[in-house]
A and B are shown apart, each in its own frame.
Chain A
Amino acid sequence: MRITINGEVEDIEAKDVTIARLLEIKKVESPDMVSVQVNGTIIEREQYGVKVIAENDELEFLYFMGGGAI
């Protein structure tokens, strides 16, 4: 499945991938400090284990642990 994360095209081998699983696959080190948007819509934290991503989805991972302005 081909998706885009933060502007970069990525191929994900697994099927029925939830946001929570995707964060694991991508080895996101601080999932507690990331906000996820799928095709411009914010996915609330309680939906991470439910929302399944689809082919050609465009995702944005926004972290609030950096040092500058976001």
Chain B
Amino acid sequence: MKGFTTRAIHGGGGPEAHGSLRVPIYDSVAFEQESADSMRSAFMGRKAAHVYTRITNPTVQDFERKMQLLSGGMATIATSSGMAAISNTLIALGGAGKNIVTSRYLFGNTLSLFEKTFAAWGLQVKYVAMSNAREVEAAIDAETCAVFMESITNPQLEVADCREIGAITQKHGVPLVVDNTLMTPYIFNTRQAGIDIEIISTTKYISGGATSVGGLVIDNGLFDWSQAAKFKERAGKFGKMAFIAALRQEVYRNTGACLAPHNAYLQSLGLETMALRIDRSCQNARHLAKYLAQQPEVKGVNYPGLPESLYYETATRQFGDKYGGVITFDLASIDQCFAFMDALKLVRRATNINDNKTLILHPDSTIFAEYSAEEKRHMGIRPTMLRLSAGIEDHEDIFADLQRGIEAL
């Protein structure tokens, strides 16, 4: 099976009871073991067995296997959300006195996790311009536990060269963690780009119409965990699987970050049509970006698929002919942004991306509201900016609705 969608539909689990064509939802917290000795073996890691859904579950495992197959990664863990995937990964990698090298151009909740939650526990953040490789390299020191970036930043839509950053992190023996939510393995294969760990919020493209919240951690099997003090002991037992074993046996288990079986089922279902939806969403986004760029009321359009974008060349080299479904654009004022949003009848005012529905949001007053004007300026968040996530509706209908917004200005 070579094709992405063929693998998404047919890959994953083995034969099911009753010839069921789908792995059913195993809505069971615990799983009975055949004997006390067998139970001990399962707990001691000497027998393959589902024991408790907070650690593993057959429906969740089927989703993990499908994603592993599609991404080409070595090992996968499904989490309760994208933020759970990020927090679990960095809790596993870091600790007090360590630091993460990253950009200020990040999803708002990720920034909040780094600056507020992690800082309180002594895990520091060093900010760099991710598209400046020399700056990234200069920031790495002996205490750096990870370099963290987004393959396309949300909502600034910056595209840094992942291969270039990967070469630097490899040289310094630091794992590179990339949030690939906006692209998914369908557009961007992180393993081929030399990225060590891929994070995905499966809530977005994968869930298939915003049905359920979820996340993924994929270890691409490229990093030598035996060189990291925190993983040395586990590397002695699990080799390249040391990081994923540390997550499963410790951080993921102890923080209760598991994906609900019902959500895993919905997301496995969503995966089957994901490539079709992404094709349409990216096509719509490109149409919408061009349309918005032609409107005199629109003061600027930011989309890496526009040839005039600062990131067009890097994005094309990295992602081919798909540039994601998210666009940002600027109007003359906040009042105009609000008037535009309020005039829309088809496009929904909601905080999500990569839904089947086209969604709009004013980042400055919503997901970045907790930050000061000065902080937002550093994060590339302008009060005049709107974020549009292209859905899969017929693009003529989206144009007609955006025209309503333009006419309200």
Contacts and interface: CB of A to CB of B under 8 A. Distances in A.
Interface of A: 6, 28-30, 32-35, 37, 42-46, 61-70
Contacts of B221: 45-46
B126 interface: no
Interface string B243-273: 0110011000100000000000000000000
A65 B55 contact: yes
A30 B49 CA distance: 8
B65 A32 contact: yes
B237 A62 contact: yes
B309 to A, nearest CB: 38
B44 A65 contact: no
Interface of B: 42-52, 55-56, 61, 64-65, 68, 74-76, 221, 236-241, 244-245, 248-249, 253
Contacts of B244: 64
A60 B74 CA distance: 20
B238 A66 contact: no
Contacts of A37: 237
Contacts of A34: 48
Contacts of A35: 237-239, 241, 245
B237 A65 contact: no
B240 A68 contact: no
Nearest to A23: B48
6 interchain residue pairs of minimum CB distance:
A68-B43, A70-B45, A42-B239, A67-B51, A64-B245, A35-B238
Nearest to B242: A35
A35 B52 CA distance: 20
Contact of A45 (B46, B56, B241, B245): B241
A65 B56 contact: yes
